[in-house]
Structure 1
Amino acid sequence: MASVITNATSALQSLVDKVEERFQNQCCIGAGPGYASPKEAMEGPREALLYVTSIYTGTGRGKPDYLATVDVDPTSPTYSKVVHRLPVTHFGDELHHSGWNACSSCHGNASAQRRYLILPSLVSGRIYAIDTAKDPRAPVLYKVVEPETILSKTGLAYPHTAHCLASGDILISCLGDKDGNAEGNGFLLLDSDLNVKGRWEKPGDSPMFGYDFWYQPRHKTMISSSWGAPAAFTKGFNPQHVLDGLYGKHLFVYSWPDGTLKQTIDLGNEGLIPLEVRFLHDPSKDTGYVGCALSGNMVRSFKTSDGSWDHEVVISVPPFKVQNWILPELPGLITDLLISLDDRYLYFVNWLHGDIRQYNIEDPEKPVLVGQVWVGGLVRKGSKVIVEKENGQQWQSDVSDVQGKRLRGGPQMIQLSLDGKRLYVTNSLFSAWDRQFYPELIEKGSHMLQIDCDTEKGGLAVNANFFVDFETEPEGPALAHEMRYPGGDCTSDIWV
């Protein structure tokens, strides 16, 4: 009898092994969206299109914002041109950041599809879903989630960052309530059909400010950052509002995926207005970075031996001492950052200074500056703003024209090609801030640049063959903001 049981058990185990092998093979054949790993993503196809949120809100032109499709295929006859424009249905939205309904976090789900680009409207609170699958070159509107629906079910407004979840749901950070109060912020949860499910965070676990977020599932952690009260920042930047406590200086650590606020990290004066949050792409790593705009510091967050999270400043961009500006010191204003998919390079921009930087972060605790390029800013040659160096000399940056065009504003949003060799740059931050710091952007609109990145030794150079000028748009000059590839990118995809 014992031998019969043994043989039966062996046969059953053999059958189980075959079923598992067949299931695994089928999963590989019918894999879901994105890539199995960051390394696989780096080996993906070269980008051919870019979707760019393009803004008329705040410009006085009386037109709806739109999604621009830009041809970035150098073999195409329409290379470096806007080839399609999809206007949204309302006025005054202020399209801002965007995300996908599904990304590499859903790679194991063969039924999932990266199809809908989610466009939150920072000012109106409306959320658009754009179908990019029917014709990637000419996407169409799929669905609109109205602000009244979101408010009635969650009390949230001012939606900002959208990330897809492995569950198929979509998580969106919201920065305030309908009146723009910071204490009204939280996280909106949409299901896969773009229906409002409710709030993600646990009751009572909404901190004072919100902004960006990134989750690292293997560490069961999400970290969010803090811009400020919408009632303040939508009117432009007022330094007094910082002193009044209307801007943030904290990171918020949540347990993932249940939404319990575990820890609040006070960054102090070294971390005023922490904006974009990025973890390393390797899901086993516990290191993340956040750019603190007003302080000009790059802060590294990391897990300690007791399981809590700590932070340290690893890069500092000192303010310039200047003449002929509203203040005696000009901060760099770090407004965007990203990490290459191999976790070797960190890129960020200084919107007011006007430079883009590349750091080697193979030692995450000691980033090394390996590339820098000036593409605008308030201290460029010909500007009235002049830097006073410690030795008493005066200085201004050299900014070259591109295709005979004078560069406007400063570098703001960035997106990196999957292979890490091309960095795309736009220059609009937020219409009210554009009007305040770079009024020329309101008059003449944005442009998009491509920066060539040396991924061996480091180094940055403007690609003279690429220039997208939003001054010449059919409905008038527009403000170009965030960029997305149809196939995903290093600022939207998270691996589990």
Structure 2
Amino acid sequence: MSESTHRTDPTFYRSAADAIAAPTEQLAYVVAFDRARQRPDALTVVDTDPDSATYGRLVGWAELPTVGDELHHFGWNACSSALQHEGHDMGHDGLQRRYLLLPGLRSSNVHVYDTHPDPRSPRLHKTIAAEELAGKAGYSRPHTLHCGPDGVFLTCLGSGEGDGGPGGIALLDHSTFDVLRAWETDRGPQYLAYDAWWHLNQNTLVSSEWGTPAMVEDGLVPELLLGGEYGHALHFWDLAEGRHRQTVDLGAEHQMVLELRPSHDPDETWGFVGVVVSTADLSASVWRWFRDGEEWKAEQVITIPAQPADPDDLPPALKPFSAVPPLVTDIDLSVDDRMLYVSCWGIGELKQYDVTDPAAPREVGSVHLGGIVRRTAHPAAPGEPLAGGPQMVEVSRDGRRIYVTNSLYGAWDDQFFPAGTGSWMAKMDTDPQAGGMTLDERFFPHGEDWRGLRPHQVRLQGGDASSDSYCYR
């Protein structure tokens, strides 16, 4: 084979330290969707180079060929986990961090975009039809994906038939993007699905729970919430065999166990998961999972209380409670495993915790933007109260820049911000060692910059804190 075939993609990093030392991102990819389902969703490109004349502005826009997808989470076809393959020093022959896979949460289609040769102009490469996903893997409603050592792991909320479960993981080839099969060989008691990630060196996959499509399609259903029917457990699996090994139930009051952030250090055996709400008091929480001998356990390490509010300031769903729940909807762990970022979408706050002792997080920073009641404005537009709040959060590899977008999920947006969420993206700068966050006043694409679409998840050029798994220390 030619030398070029064998050359490892320079954005595949052997260790977290290598990723931290890599060149700074120049672009951010952001998916944005049309809540009205009248126009195509889009993969957009934002300039993140502070020395550029177009810094903080949208510089690329690729419309989907379909309508009504509701782009939500998305990710790369390949990343640093490719280095775990046999012959790992070379990586996969010709494999590159090149393609972005965009699942449609409502359509069940997956659109694949090529970021080469011009990273500002992604081009449609392939569409994986909902019928292929259902026929070959038995799943629908793709939600989250991670590039793994054996392919792309695509978590799905529903089965291939109707709007029920079980949800699970479809395995895709990360070169051809063919749907290979359902990843699970023995799912045990697992039925609800949401996120999945892993500890590569421990041969362990962790998965979390939200609900079936019927449970989430129209937003948060009070009867299901108060009945403890949304997901409230973690599942631990044999990564190589796809076999369920253990369930850790956090308790039925801890509803919607969502984003998983395992330690980046491949020798560690802990991680964090965010829980949206407690039915006991409307608080939100973050839990640490960890290995204890041969078992996995979980403990609550962060509690964020609800805030009292005048019912007249609340949407109908919250008026009876006279309080605003924090609604922790995303978390992100810096690549050095030092800082944890927690999005409190309901109260309009991004919190920063020092987790050098993961069993005892310590809050070291906070930024307010938007919120159901507070509506904090951005300093770049001080006269414009914001709706939505910090929701999806992404951290640069070196831990110095944090990016957030404000839309959660169309049906939830409408419930909690019935007058509309608007559209915005913001950036904070931080000291990755001491903490503390400052809003970047130059970076605030908002309003008509998004052409009526709502921005959701962010992926950074060359990788970010929630993209890669590392195989070496």
Whether these two folds match at TM > 0.5 is yes
1:308 counterpart = 2:284: no
Deviation at 1:203, TM superposition (A): 4.2
Is structure 2 residue 182 aligned with structure 1 residue 222? no
Structure 2 runs not aligned, ≥5 long:
279-283
Aligned equivalent of 1:439, options 401, 408, 418? 418
Find the residue that maps to 1:428 and give its secondary structure: coil
1:330 and 1:379 mapped to 2: Cα distance? 8
> Which of 141, 145, 158 is residue 124 of structure 2 equivalent to?
141
Greater Cα offset, 350-359 or 266-275 = 266-275
Aligned to 2:307: 320
Distance 2:465 2:449 in 1: 30
Instruction: Give the structure 2 partner of residue 390 of structure 1.
Output: none
Deviation digits for residues 433-490 of structure 1 (CA, Å, limit 9, x no counterpart): 1111123445xx31000111122322112111111114344xx411100001121111
CA distance in 1, matches of 2:397, 2:268: 20
Separation in 1 of the partners of 2:127 and 2:340? 35
1:356-375 to structure 2, matched below 5 A, reads 356-375=350-369
- Does the 8 Å CA contact 2:9/2:97 hold for their aligned counterparts? no
How big is the shift at 1:208?
1.8
TM-score normalised to the size of structure 1? 0.86
Cα distance in 1, alignment partners of residues 378 and 136 from structure 2 = 51
Which of 297, 307, 310 is equivalent to 2:285?
297
Aligned residue number for residue 428 of structure 1: 407
Deviation at 1:263, TM superposition (A): 0.6
Q: Residue 320 of structure 2: SS of its match in structure 1?
A: coil
Conserved? CA contact 1:183–1:206, under 8 Å: no
Alignment correspondent of 2:177: 194
TM-score by length of 2: 0.90
Post-superposition offset of 1:36: 1.2
Equivalent of 1:34 in 3, 8, 12: 12
Select the residue among 372, 379, 384 that pairs with 1:378: 372
CA distance in 1 between counterparts of 2:203 and 2:229 reads: 30
Contact 2:265–2:337 under 8 Å retained in 1: yes
Amino acid aligned to 2:305: P
> Which residues of 2 match residues 398-477 of structure 1 at below 5 A?
399-404=377-382, 405-441=384-420, 445-473=422-450, 476-477=451-452
Number of aligned residues: 448
**Deviation per residue, 1:70-113 (Å, 9 max, x gap):** 11111111111111111111111011101111101113315221
For residue 149 of structure 1, report the CA deviation from its aligned partner: 1.2
Structure 2 CA distance, aligned partners of 1:469 and 1:317?
A: 28
Write the mapping of 1:224-373 to structure 2, written as runs, cut at 5 A: 224-269=207-252, 271-295=254-278, 296-305=284-293, 307-324=294-311, 325=314, 326-328=319-321, 329-373=323-367
What is the CA–CA distance in structure 2 between the aligned matches of 1:298 and 1:270, rounded to whole Å? 14
Asked if 1 retains the 8 angstrom alpha-carbon contact of 2:155 and 2:169, the reply is: yes
SS at match of 1:214: strand
Classify the secondary structure of the residue corresponding to 1:273. Answer: strand
Unpaired segments ≥5 residues, structure 1: 1-24, 382-397
How far does residue 152 in structure 1 lie from its aligned partner after superposition? 1.6
The one-letter code sitting in structure 1 at the alignment partner of 2:310 is Q
Shift of 1:182: 4.5
Counterpart CA distance in 2 for 1:124 and 1:27 is 36
| Higher alpha-carbon Rg | 1
User: Structure 1 residues 32 and 464, CA, compared in 2 at 3 Å: closer, same or farther?
Assistant: closer
Once residues 204 and 291 of structure 1 are traced to their aligned partners in structure 2, the CA distance between those partners, rounded to angstroms, is 23
Note the C-alpha offset of 1:320: 1.9
In structure 1, what is the Cα distance between the partners aligned to 2:320 and 2:6?
Answer: 58
Distance 1:33-1:146 versus aligned 2 partners, 3 A rule: same
Q: What is the DSSP-based 3-state SS (H/G/I as helix, E as strand, rest coil) of the residue aligned with 2:403?
A: strand
Q: 1:44 aligns with which of 12, 18, 22?
A: 22
Measured after TM superposition, the shift of residue 355 of structure 1 is 0.6
1:485 equivalent to 2:460? Answer yes
Shift of 1:344: 0.7
The equivalent residue for 1:185 is 167
C-alpha spacing 1:85/1:343, structure 2 compared with 1 (3 Å):
same
SS at match of 1:148: helix
How is 1:72-83 mapped onto 2 (pairs within 5 angstroms)?
72-83=48-59
Q: 1:375 to 1:131 in 2, by over 3 A?
A: same
CA–CA separation in structure 1 for the residues paired with 2:346 and 2:8: 47
Corresponding letter in the other structure for 1:491: S
Displacement after TM superposition at 1:180 (Å): 5.4
Q: Secondary structure at the match of 2:198?
A: strand
**Cα distance in 2, alignment partners of residues 32 and 356 from structure 1:** 32
In the TM superposition, 1:160-179 aligns within 5 A as 160-167=143-150, 169-178=151-160
Higher fraction of helix: 1
Identity, % of aligned positions? 39
Q: Which residue of 1 aligns with 2:281?
A: none
What amino acid is aligned across from residue 455 of structure 1 in structure 2?
P
